[in-house]
Chains A and B, each alone.
Chain A
Amino acid sequence: EAGVAQSPRYKIIEKRQSVAFWCNPISGHATLYWYQQILGQGPKLLIQFQNNGVVDDSQLPKDRFSAERLKGVDSTLKIQPAKLEDSAVYLCASSLEASGRGETQYFGPGTRLLVL
């Protein structure tokens, strides 16, 4: 079974530029998450989708970050304009819907963003 795919793997941009990340979850997984992992810290949730609906975006900086999941499959995360503090690894994860307590989230390899 193919895992969670993400692209690009690395991105370097200047501050105030825009950038977009793409995620393709495991086939059949209804729930998709975007996490931000700053160097030396654990991942922090940005947004959670259930199919193509948003379940939780309370920690998404909505003035600069946006995300969508069209047709309930692929997802894109966009930053516009980027700030220096956005330098981080952006992780996408997916899980089956309603599989009970302790359902496993499967993570992609991440996109490492450096904002100069």
Chain B
Amino acid sequence: GNSVTQMEGPVTLSEEAFLTINCTYTATGYPSLFWYVQYPGEGLQLLLKATKADDKGSNKGFEATYRKETTSFHLEKGSVQVSDSAVYFCALSDFGTGRRALTFGSGTRLQVQP
């Protein structure tokens, strides 16, 4: 079956530091990959996505590249801000099955200190 593994948190960084959150996946088909973010007190929202190999998703300074050869979709940001403090979830959907439900990783909490 499908699964997503992401690095455990919490990740604590100082403002303006470089961020990497690792994500690897296992899928039976050819999945689409997503990063969702959950800010304190808010619901899950899409951060970025990529639908095919070598695609790069980007939003709000965050980037992730779909690497089929390493089955990875690592999240990066060059300079984090306090406002980036949140829980980040890597996820996949297997469009080929028709179900399209998301399979999520366990989440990584990011804490950015001023």
Contacts and interface: CB of A to CB of B under 8 A. Distances in A.
Interface of A: 4, 31, 33, 35, 40-45, 48, 55-56, 91, 93, 95, 100-110
B45 interface: yes
Q: Which 8 A-B pairs have the closest CB atoms?
A: A42-B104, A102-B32, A102-B51, A107-B44, A45-B101, A101-B51, A109-B43, A101-B95
Contacts, number: 62
Contacts of A93: 44
B100 A103 contact: yes
Given A95-B100, A101-B51, A102-B95, 6 more contacts: A40-B107, A43-B89, A44-B104, A45-B101, A107-B36, A108-B43
Contact of B99 (A48, A91, A105): A48
A33 B91 CA distance: 15
A56 B45 contact: no
